[in-house]
């Protein structure tokens, strides 16, 4: 039961099969072979290339990320954010969505131009002398 939760956790984080087996071996003293790990994942219906999230859901998530602090990050970071929020999507789909939603940002990242953050304050901060 405990092993199942660990395998699920490391699978959803995105580790490879070899990395999951090594983590279980080193950190938890659980010796598990990659072949047995794959059997366990099959029993749990966990696959890498099936069961992708709905593209409309992913699109709305990416739009939200672009409207907040995610506008300065590329498709690899966006892929990680999707995984952490329970969305399973291909990197190529994310890359194409970013190109469609944020063409200016994609061009800036391709040219490796640094875009500074913008801070909005209601009024200037006053320094008080004591």
- Interval 64-104: pLDDT, tens: 998 887 777 888 899 989 988 888 888 999 999 999 998 88
Report the predicted TM-score, pTM, of the whole model to 2 decimal places: 0.56
- For 45-71, give one letter per residue: b (16+ CB within 10 A) or e: eeeeeeeeeeeeebbebbeebbeeebe
In the chain, the percentage of residues whose pLDDT exceeds 90 is: 39
Closest CA to 98 of 58, 38, 41: 58
pLDDT at 129 over 80: no
How far apart CA 78 and CA 64 sit, in angstroms, is 11
pLDDT at 1 over 60: no
């Amino acid at each position: 039961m405990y092993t199942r939760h660990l395998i699920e956790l490391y699978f959803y984080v995105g580790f490879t099969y070899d990395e999951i087996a090594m983590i279980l071996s080193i950190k938890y003293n659980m010796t598990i072979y990659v072949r047995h790990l794959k059997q366990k994942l099959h029993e749990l219906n966990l696959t890498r290339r099936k069961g992708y999230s709905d593209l409309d859901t992913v699109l709305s998530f990416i739009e939200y990320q672009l409207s907040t602090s995610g506008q300065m990050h590329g498709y690899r970071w966006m892929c990680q954010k999707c995984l952490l929020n329970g969305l399973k999507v291909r990197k190529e789909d994310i890359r194409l969505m970013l190109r469609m939603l944020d063409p200016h940002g994609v061009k800036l990242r391709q040219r490796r131009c640094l875009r500074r953050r913008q801070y909005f304050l209601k009024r200037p901060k006053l320094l008080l002398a004591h």
